[in-house]
Structure 1
């Protein structure tokens, strides 16, 4: 079965972006580049919510990743914008991910924000959670996690400092309480 990982970079107080969607506080280094490269090893599907997709498009969209299909989940979009790389998914996110998780293929990376990540955790479909904790308190913004329906137990896989002044944390999802 394919592994589903939810992660990215967050502030120490748990935000993916600031109150005005700012990400100027994110720190980049060779360590970060290597971690990003490693996190995509073996991945052939990336999941993204519509809000994250819209933000990525405003930031330039990034180059298509060879061998990685981006699935964009939206209840409001009817088609992908011209020139955008990805496949639009309007069906229930848990049903879709449950189906592709059971199919042959590589791992699945969730890059789609707190709503999507939390929905998949709540559905019991996330196997690992990993974040680069940035040394900043934003005080508000876009949270990495929304309210869960139940407690989720985690097992630490990795914890290490990374330059510049960040900490990488990776957990395996053990069970839902």
Structure 2
């Protein structure tokens, strides 16, 4: 059974994006980003919600294109319609998670967003949390977990201080 790892940048007040999906407060260069890119190479499947997938449209991603070509990409959405030749799969619900975890050849990257993360955690399939913590308070936006209805118990696995108050924290969900 492969792990599902939520690897995401987060503000001090728990948001993965500000209002209007603004991510400009998070670092886009430097060692913390370089290490993230290295981790991306270790994942074999990516899971994301509709809003996270469509966020790529603002940066030139075309509907149906795979934003992570080296990974199998799954978008979980009840409303997203893509071309028949789409390079990504669209799941209408999470009923295939156990089969995905069994069939995947390596770790599964949960790219976002907060609602999907809460749903996967609630279903008992979220195994790891990797946070790139930025020293900023956004005051609103997309929460790390939207609608989580039970606490998650976290076992710290490691922390790296990148300077300038940038931290990477890794947790196992127990």
Same fold (TM over 0.5): yes
Match of 1:88 in 2: 90
What is the DSSP-based 3-state SS (H/G/I as helix, E as strand, rest coil) of the residue aligned with 2:171? strand
Alignment of 1:55-94 (within 5 A): 55-61=55-61, 64-80=67-83, 85-90=87-92, 92-93=93-94
Q: Runs in 1 of length 4+ with deviation above 4 angstroms?
A: none
Give the TM-score taking structure 2 as reference length.
Answer: 0.88
Q: Which whole-Å deviations, capped at 9, do the CAs of 1:3-58 have from their partners, x for residues lacking one? A: 11012101110111111221111113331233213322431100010011111222
Q: Specify every segment of 5 or more residues in structure 1 that has no aligned partner in the other structure, as ranges.
A: none
Within 2, Cα distance between the matches of 1:121 and 1:32? 25
Comparing 62-71 and 102-111, the one that deviates more? 62-71
Measure, in 2, the Cα distance between the counterparts of 1:64 and 1:114: 19
Give me the whole-angstrom Cα distance separating, in 1, the residues matched to 2:116 and 2:104: 22
Over aligned residues, Cα RMSD in angstroms?
2.1
How many Å apart are 1:112 and its aligned residue?
2.0
Relative to structure 2, which stretch is displaced further, 143-152 or 59-68?
Answer: 59-68
After superposition, the Cα gap between the structure-2 partners of 1:145 and 1:113, relative to the gap in structure 1 and judged at 3 Å, is: same
- Inter-CA distance 28–67: structure 2 relative to 1 (3 Å threshold): closer
Question: Do the aligned residues in 2 keep the contact of 1:48 with 1:111 (CA within 8 Å)?
Answer: yes
Tell me what 1:154 maps to.
Answer: 154
> What 5-or-longer segments of structure 2 have no aligned partner?
none
In the aligned structure 2, how far is the partner of 1:104 from the partner of 1:133? 28
Indicate if the aligned counterparts of 1:6 and 1:126 stay in contact, CA closer than 8 A: yes
Cα 1:80–1:142, aligned 2, differ >3 Å: closer, same or farther?
Answer: farther
